Structure 1
């Protein structure tokens, strides 16, 4: 329940200016970030009048709020995007999910490379995309690198590689390549990626016929398969604008408190489609739409035009992107916008039932937990430990807020020497909650330990030692180590319906904390396993180590090499250090 006395005092002094507001729960976590043209009016709306169920649930979790005044609504929008990215609040619409779309990057270096990237900030390159999925981007990169002998290495090596010997690289590492040759390749690749493949197909057809006439049937078949690959990857689109401009088209549909946004991305006049998921709506629909577009272009290049329906208020978008915002009135562009609107509605209708059901299941599960423990449960922290015969002893903590994973709250712990599972649990819980006490931070509504009564007892010891007001329970597992039931802090088994929403939430929590802890454990093991005896050699860094392994391939070959042979890869002093270290090891083994 919101702390209305504290909130009412703050509402009374809110300024009538634009800015951002940050809603916090009783634990001090930022659960929602919004922007406002007039802070005083917008923030008050949350605490007066009736709301739909989702907004009511958000408000029930608000214990405090902060605000930041900005000079304009545009500044507030840009600040909102940065705050959402920084804090990842659980109630905000995270359309981009911290992901970016794949692009093909053609570098402008003397010896160019073509690769799939998601970061488009390097100005010394051309970018083509976005691609509807990463598989299509990698297929296209593989095809073009097969067709054109571009450089494949990230850095030029000192001698030629396999690609040179099979004719897929011109070998700029060992011989100069005429700039005109690479310039022609760049131009052909640009035309190809803009959809003009007729010249390429005609050229390949000539090569296939010539190979057949010379009875080089395997070569002819290879070219024929390459042509089929081109036709498959560069499929003709239903919509094809002859001006070959890059356009993005956006539209949204709102119903029953959820919003669905559809984006079409046109590159070189050809249409690529990207459907976006249905998401709960906690703000004005146009504000959510503008925030989505701003989030998208924070990570992606601007096209020539951004098309939106003519009915929308484009004021804020025009402030951000100027004349690139187009609201077509007639012709093919209107048809494109109408198609985006239809797709947004269709996607909403197709996915809404599933999304709503999932939302209801979370609410039911959290409600059942609240009834079991006779208190409101919003924030849950769950711990799991992992080790291998007492080594690499670690623990992971994951956080669930209102039934959803809250990844900013996740924590990893590297524990001390392993003595027992109980000692490991005591250590991690003491470290976690002593720090919260020291910082004056709020405790979770429920602490879950992934284990039986002994683990619960370990948690109770720390609760008493630190004098915590903390509700504790354990996950009871069956003979297959799967979640079976709950156990309260008295050791009483609380039966859970196996097909019920709480059972599935608990299973999800157990899987998530186990994945989180074991992944950290494996990373530590892998790091230890990949340590090399060469780590002990003075003057030998990662680059030189890679060069050593590339030259000799194994420790056995390196041990058999002379100082002079090792000197061909690293400086003389380092070569001597390597030689003496390896042969001193041999002497130690012999003495033993």
Structure 2
């Protein structure tokens, strides 16, 4: 695809260095990419157009400017690209976003810390765990912690001075055993923080610290014949065992591993992420991503690994995938296991990704079937309402547009199987009619349309709709008769005022139920034809204004006229400019001519 001279010059001066590049259209950034060699990568977009798909060609056609940033290494380019995509969310980049704000469990940065959940992660010194893809999962973990450890829930400022001054009194939570009463100094800070340390271990996926603690306490209490206390510790130990049992256990030898798998079709990629700690899967998430430029699976998965690891604050040094990837990240090993426990773990993740793909594709197929059933139902209703002999799978609708006789145009829109077929839409300039004659204009465009179809041996529609009353319908019928195809195509007219349906030769209109799906489809065709005609007429009228207002001035050419109207929008605004301001736009000679014309007496 050819680039403008401005872009060619920019591309020629791009560096042979690693970094990122940004493509811009008139509104802003539309794509961010990374490259080991910026110039080679950007040049490939413009020099290998035969290898690009339609989406990439469309991206290239919109590029109006290019910027780049050089970095030291490929790894830096990888991370910078990821950050810029999240910051700008360009149209042609794959984005990890689903409109949700996932919850975190926060251990607040305060004396006698509270443990609570939040959706807003802020830099206040608190420790955040998560995010949790499932709110239910988050509440299960939080309930376990609050059952195991008596923690305060009040918002008091428990400074040593406030507690010593006796500003606070224990509340109901203390009396029912949910809090140890730090507000009255009934628990020392060291003991409280030991509990907080165990909570941090549990939230990090390591249950062994808490389990060992409760085992020791249970044994010590039993040795001192405090059997009731020992039983309480036993219950807490059982809770941890039960919680761990509900997690999917894969292998005790596997710890701190991230697992990513991907499967895809032409339109979407389906990804599963498993987080493994101490032999158990502590987090799982499946994602569906729409492809933007037919990206290969390797490129999509590499981007997702970076983003999800950052999102979940993963510290894992080992990543297992179902593709052989090379991530330019320090101290991260990417493995593609073929046998053993890791292979079983990989298969489990891939099974989740495949399940998501099958479920989505099944839903799409079902929606497609339902859509086709609805289309057939609407067309069957139209066939019955209009008393047609065959199903109107191909419908064409005509409309005229003019303003006080100026720039008369017409439009034809085409629907196939109840849906717009925009490649078949047609605009018509009225050639044989002088003045505002809608009847003659309708005869001309219908004749031209179906003579063309007959000459090219193309199929005719099952139904023609004329936007207008008896007069326009009559002229369309005459055109069909002159072409010797009247009777081969059903034709009706629709009048706007009362939505009356007229048949050729019938003086009485047909009134279809206002809630009928067939009338709604006819109205949609009529409105689309009207919109298409009006849009074309306005463009013609604007072009005519350009011709008559400026280009008739001797010495002012079409390019100058178009540039001025593009910038100032109207001749009225041009009249408001001084001659000196016009000189800055078009030069002294043209400015003198134009100023004299614009300010000449009427």
TM-score, normalised to structure 2's length? 0.50
Quickly say closer, same or farther: Cα 1:368–1:57, change in 2 above 3 A: farther
CA drift of 1:232 comes to: 7.6
1:69 paired residue number? 70
Quickly say closer, same or farther: Cα 1:79–1:2, change in 2 above 3 A: farther
CA drift of 1:133 comes to: 1.0
CA deviation map 1:322-367 (0-9, x unaligned) = 14545546421222123323433443344257679999x9xx9998
Quickly say closer, same or farther: Cα 1:252–1:109, change in 2 above 3 A: same
Work out whether residues 22 and 29 of structure 2, in 8 Å CA contact, stay in contact via their aligned partners in 1: yes
Whether 1:167 aligns to 2:167 is no
Alignment of 1:183-198 (within 5 A): 183-186=193-196, 188-190=198-200, 193=203, 194-195=206-207
Whether 1:242 aligns to 2:252 is yes
Whether 1:336 aligns to 2:345 is yes
2:306 paired residue number? 294
CA deviation map 1:86-125 (0-9, x unaligned) = 2111221112458675443335754122122467786966
CA deviation map 1:228-271 (0-9, x unaligned) = 98788655234343257332111223442543222111234311
CA drift of 1:18 comes to: 1.8
Measure the CA separation in 1 of the matches of 2:207 and 2:21. Answer: 46
User: Whose RCO is larger (CA < 8 A, sep 6+)?
Assistant: 1
- Which of the residues 324, 331, 336 maps onto 1:312? 324
- Which of the residues 251, 256, 259 maps onto 2:266? 256
Measure the CA separation in 1 of the matches of 2:367 and 2:8. Answer: 34
Alignment of 1:60-99 (within 5 A): 60-97=61-98
Work out whether residues 260 and 345 of structure 1, in 8 Å CA contact, stay in contact via their aligned partners in 2: yes
CA deviation map 1:348-388 (0-9, x unaligned) = 344257679999x9xx99987899898xxxxxxxxxxxxxx
Measure the CA separation in 1 of the matches of 2:365 and 2:24. Answer: 25
Work out whether residues 33 and 80 of structure 1, in 8 Å CA contact, stay in contact via their aligned partners in 2: yes
1:40 paired residue number? 39
Quickly say closer, same or farther: Cα 1:147–1:45, change in 2 above 3 A: same
Work out whether residues 308 and 326 of structure 1, in 8 Å CA contact, stay in contact via their aligned partners in 2: yes
1:465 paired residue number? none
- Which of the residues 259, 282, 285 maps onto 1:274? 285
> SS in structure 2 opposite 1:105?
strand
1:18 paired residue number? 18
CA deviation map 1:444-503 (0-9, x unaligned) = xxxxxxxxxxxxxxxxxxxxxxxxxxxxxxxxxx99xxxx99999xxx94489xxxxxxx
Quickly say closer, same or farther: Cα 1:24–1:240, change in 2 above 3 A: same
Alignment of 1:176-215 (within 5 A): 177-186=187-196, 188-190=198-200, 193=203, 194-195=206-207
Aligned residues, how many?
371
Measure the CA separation in 1 of the matches of 2:62 and 2:304. Answer: 24
Measure the CA separation in 1 of the matches of 2:344 and 2:195. Answer: 36
Higher Rg of the two aligned structures: 2
Alignment of 1:122-141 (within 5 A): 128-141=129-142
Q: Unaligned 5+ residue runs, structure 1?
A: 208-212, 215-219, 375-477, 497-592
Quickly say closer, same or farther: Cα 1:486–1:187, change in 2 above 3 A: farther
Quickly say closer, same or farther: Cα 1:368–1:12, change in 2 above 3 A: farther
